[in-house]
Amino acid sequence: MFETMHVRSGRPWLLDDHLDRMAGSAARLDLDLPPRAELVGLADTLCAQWPAGTEGALKIICTRGPEDGDGITCYGTLTAVPDSTHAVRRNGLRLGTLNLGLASDARSAAPWLLGGAKTLSYAMNMACQRWAAAAGLDDVLWVSSDGYLLEAPTSTLVWLEHRTLYTVPQATGILSGTTARWLLDHVDALGWHAGERMVRQDELERASGVWLTSSVRGIVAVRELDGVKFTEPAPTETLRDLLGFQA
Amino acid sequence: MFETMHVRSGRPWLLDDHLDRMAGSAARLDLDLPPRAELVGLADTLCAQWPAGTEGALKIICTRGPEDGDGITCYGTLTAVPDSTHAVRRNGLRLGTLNLGLASDARSAAPWLLGGAKTLSYAMNMACQRWAAAAGLDDVLWVSSDGYLLEAPTSTLVWLEHRTLYTVPQATGILSGTTARWLLDHVDALGWHAGERMVRQDELERASGVWLTSSVRGIVAVRELDGVKFTEPAPTETLRDLLGFQA
């Protein structure tokens, strides 16, 4: 399993939330993580030399290795935020939908499908993003077989309707987005409410703003979905400021 | 992606078939494999010191590494066949079914789901096998959301009805089993026919023999499925001999 964090002012943002999620992934994989202090130490060591004024992407990876191996290996990397991330923050995203083949309630009843776990098994996630690139798009949004929008391969869907910021319920088996969760916990500062609900594509087209959130990109406006242009969402800057990201 | 082969008489059995399947996986992952001679050379080097009279399991792994990395890294391992494999060849398998959440036709229309590709993303396959172990079973058999039996996490389903040996159609998105394919291509030696069809659990319970095939275990009788005992299939030895495996 792995976690990727935004490094700002020389520190990983939301480190505790990410390590909580990693503990949840480990439980779903029947894997014992090292003591939390060890993972915090790994993050500290990597961040120690990082220039305070520079954004970074910190990745912590823990793996069992071969199924018959015992123990667990954890390591980390810290890299600069690529130019493409800055470009997408400015320009927003053109998305296409891809059917995930699973019903929106399939994973809640089937823990062996590992819904909600952030494992290293990302072949399909990456195949979907390559599909997007080949179609001249920036990313994809997964749709359940019963027609609900779920999440993107590496980010979380949030949208605004009548001063309520929504995301998709966990019961669909999506990954719990740390950035989205923090945002929903703090939108009362803007006088908004936070909500969770299932959403269909035609409903999303009528929202007053649609975004993807993720740890390193922060919050990025969705400008197009399956060829339908979305209104430029007025509050993108406000939400990005609230989250503490630069454009 | 990876391939695992049975090493017998100091050579990997069905090497060409495995490398063909690896090429298919690479195509689904938009990945360029090294020239085939290089992969054959890797297998040769590993097998060179292996004692001719000892069964082995040869694994060849090719990986892109990080999504933004360029090129591909291939390496291999050669290990002894574990005692547990010999035990299961003798004793057969107790299986439980697990719902895969996908309809039997979901993957044929959605190449981004990587049906038929043998990728390294095995977290869910391994989670299913841990589920089996926790339930006191040997392995699981995946069922589609519309009620068809598909495959096991690391092996292929074959069954015998009225002198026809069947397996599940590729169109369901299962991995093409090299051992099952070879067996179906050679059952005319036993006076049987080879077939492919979709099968439900109640139909399987009426078959005259049910097996799982895989590269290192060879062919193993299914003795129980979801608590229903299966008849000891008379031709297990004959099929194992045809495939050239020892008990």
pLDDT digits (tens, 9 = 90+) for B46-84: 999 999 999 999 999 999 876 556 689 999 999 999 999
Distance from CA of B1 to the nearest CA of A (A): 9
Cα distances (Å, whole numbers) of residue A10 to A45, A49, A53, A228 = 11, 8, 7, 40
At B202 the pLDDT is 96
Q: In this complex, which of A29, A106, A109 lies closest to B123 when CB atoms are compared?
A: A29
Q: Which helix (H) or strand (E) holds B58?
A: strand B56-63
Task: Flag if A127 and B114 touch (Cβ within 8 Å).
Answer: yes
Q: Is B85 on the interface with A (CB under 8 A)?
A: no
Domain spans, chain A: 2-81, 86-243
| Per-residue model confidence as pLDDT tens digits over A205-227 | 999 999 999 999 999 999 999 99
Number of Cβ pairs closer than 8 Å across A and B? 88
Rounded-to-10 torsion of CA A97, A98, A103, A104: -40
Q: Is A98 on the interface with B (CB under 8 A)?
A: yes
| Cβ neighbours of residue A46 closer than 8 Å, sequence gap 6 or more | A58, A76, A77, A78
Top residue of A1, A59, A67, A112 to mutate, by most chain B CBs within 10 Å, is A112
CA distance linking residue A93 with residue B155, whole number of Å: 41
Q: Residues 124 to 153 of A: which have CB under 8 A from any B CB?
A: 124, 126-131, 140, 145
Task: Flag if B103 and A145 touch (Cβ within 8 Å).
Answer: yes
Task: Flag if A113 and B129 touch (Cβ within 8 Å).
Answer: no
Top residue of B112, B119, B150 to mutate, by most chain A CBs within 10 Å, is B112
**For the sheet containing A56-63, what is the strand order?**
A11-12, A2-8, A56-63, A73-80
Q: Which residues of chain A have pLDDT under 70?
A: 66-70
At B69 the pLDDT is 62
Q: Do domains A2-81 and A86-243 have the same CATH topology?
A: no
- Write down the ipTM of this complex: 0.89
Rounded-to-10 torsion of CA A11, A16, A17, A20: 140
Q: What is the pLDDT along chain B (247 residues), one digit of tens a residue?
A: 999 999 999 999 999 999 999 999 999 999 999 999 999 999 999 999 999 999 999 999 999 876 556 689 999 999 999 999 999 999 999 999 999 999 999 999 999 999 999 999 999 999 999 999 999 999 999 999 999 999 999 999 999 999 999 999 999 999 999 999 999 999 999 999 999 999 999 999 999 999 999 999 999 999 999 999 998 888 999 999 999 998 8
CA distance linking residue B125 with residue A222, whole number of Å: 34
Q: Is A118 on the interface with B (CB under 8 A)?
A: no
Is the domain defined by A86-243 classed in CATH 1.25.40.340? no
Q: Which residue from A minimizes the CA distance to B131?
A: A112
CA distance linking residue B156 with residue B143, whole number of Å: 13
Q: Is B113 on the interface with A (CB under 8 A)?
A: yes
Q: Which residue from B minimizes the CA distance to A114?
A: B124
CA distance linking residue B149 with residue B168, whole number of Å: 8
Is the separation of the CB atoms in B47 and B39 below 8 Å?
no
Instruction: Tell me which chain A residues have a C-beta less than 8 angstroms from the C-beta of B110.
Output: 98-99, 101
Distance from CA of A127 to the nearest CA of B (A): 6
Distance from CA of B160 to the nearest CA of A (A): 29
CA distance linking residue A131 with residue A124, whole number of Å: 10
Q: Is A107 on the interface with B (CB under 8 A)?
A: yes
Task: Flag if B106 and A110 touch (Cβ within 8 Å).
Answer: no
CA distance linking residue B150 with residue B47, whole number of Å: 33
Of B154, B188, B182, B153, which Cα lies nearest the Cα of B167?
A: B182
| Per-residue model confidence as pLDDT tens digits over B222-236 | 999 999 999 888 899
Task: Flag if B103 and A100 touch (Cβ within 8 Å).
Answer: no
At B231 the pLDDT is 85
Instruction: Tell me which chain B residues have a C-beta less than 8 angstroms from the C-beta of A133.
Output: none
Distance from CA of B79 to the nearest CA of A (A): 13
Query: Do the bridges between strand A156-161 and strand B2-8 make them parallel or antiparallel, or are there none, so unpaired?
Result: unpaired
CA distance linking residue B168 with residue B159, whole number of Å: 10
Q: Where are the alpha helices (DSSP H) in chain B?
A: 15-28, 36-47, 83-91, 123-134, 178-186, 201-204, 236-243
What is the SS3 assignment for B187? helix
Rounded-to-10 torsion of CA A47, A51, A56, A59: -20
Provide the CB-side half-sphere exposure for B112 (13 A, CA): 23
Distance from CA of A188 to the nearest CA of B (A): 37
Is the domain defined by A2-81 classed in CATH 3.30.70.20? no
At B67 the pLDDT is 53
Q: Is A27 on the interface with B (CB under 8 A)?
A: no
